[in-house]
């Protein structure tokens, strides 16, 4: 047995999907990129759809350790950790667009209605990512006496990042995505800033 054919296929899909989307990525292309035959592909995955959903879960499995190991966790101040995450996101929006954009976000944009498995897997990926931010947001809230929905803010952060990727793709300029991340940082700073008129209940309410 070759070392982990299944992972090789999914990781081959990362690159292809980020560059051309899910539907335009064929099974043959994935097999070629992973140096695996089509028979082996269908041994491991019942269908292309199953590969796609598994790839979104695998995306989380690969990126989670990266974010967990990132230096933004080091400050004692939880708000600095939240802002550090945003800064990391901003710094990542540089160079090759296909290298910093999100596999799950890309796939769900096309397949949300036609593949429940992909939608579910992508949502799992995104909500897990948001969940990983919630503890620091909660701690920052407690430290500063701020009232807000931590998970709502975390999901908003995910949305901004996903939207920034689309802007970077459309403009061909990673800087435009990074600019949106800078706005997000500014927003979070303001949310937790020690000014009395900024401590309202919930955004929009």
Q: Which residues bind its own copies (CB under 8 A)?
A: 19-24, 90, 97-98, 104-106, 108-114, 119, 122-123, 126-127, 152-153, 155-156, 158-164, 166-167, 169-172, 176-177, 179-183, 185-187, 190-191, 193, 195, 197-198, 202-205
For residue 57, report the phi and psi dihedrals to the nearest 5 degrees: -65, -40
Nearest to 86, CA basis, from 193, 199, 189 = 189
9, 31 in Cβ contact below 8 A?
yes
Q: x-or-dash pattern for DNA, window 23-52, by CB under 7 A? A: --xxxxx------xxxxx-xxx-xxxx---
101, 168 in Cβ contact below 8 A?
yes
CB of 29 to DNA, least distance (A): 7
Dihedral angle, C-alpha 50, 52, 55, 57, nearest 10 °: -70
Among DNA, its own copies, none, residue 83 binds (CB under 5-8 Å by kind): none
Residue ranges that bind DNA, judged by CB under 7 A: 1-2, 5-6, 25-29, 36-40, 42-44, 46-49
């Amino acid at each position: 047995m070759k070392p982990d054919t299944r992972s090789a296929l999914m990781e081959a899909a990362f690159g292809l999907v980020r560059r051309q989307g899910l539907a335009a990525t064929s099974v043959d292309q994935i097999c070629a990129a992973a140096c695996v035959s089509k028979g082996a592909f269908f041994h491991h995955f019942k269908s292309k759809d199953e590969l796609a959903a598994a790839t979104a879960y695998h995306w989380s499995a690969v990126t989670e350790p990266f974010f967990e190991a990132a230096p933004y966790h080091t400050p004692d101040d939880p708000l600095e950790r939240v802002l550090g995450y945003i800064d990391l996101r901003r710094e990542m929006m540089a160079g090759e667009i296909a290298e910093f954009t999100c596999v799950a976000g890309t796939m769900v944009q096309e397949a949300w209605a036609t593949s429940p498995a992909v939608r579910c897997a992508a949502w799992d990926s995104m909500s897990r990512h948001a969940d990983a931010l919630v503890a620091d947001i909660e701690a920052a809230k407690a430290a500063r006496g701020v009232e807000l929905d931590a998970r709502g803010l975390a999901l908003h952060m995910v949305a901004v990042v996903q939207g920034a990727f689309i802007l970077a793709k459309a403009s061909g300029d990673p800087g435009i995505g990074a600019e949106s991340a800078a706005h997000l940082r500014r927003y979070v700073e303001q949310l937790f800033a020690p000014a009395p008129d900024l401590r309202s209940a919930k955004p929009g309410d």
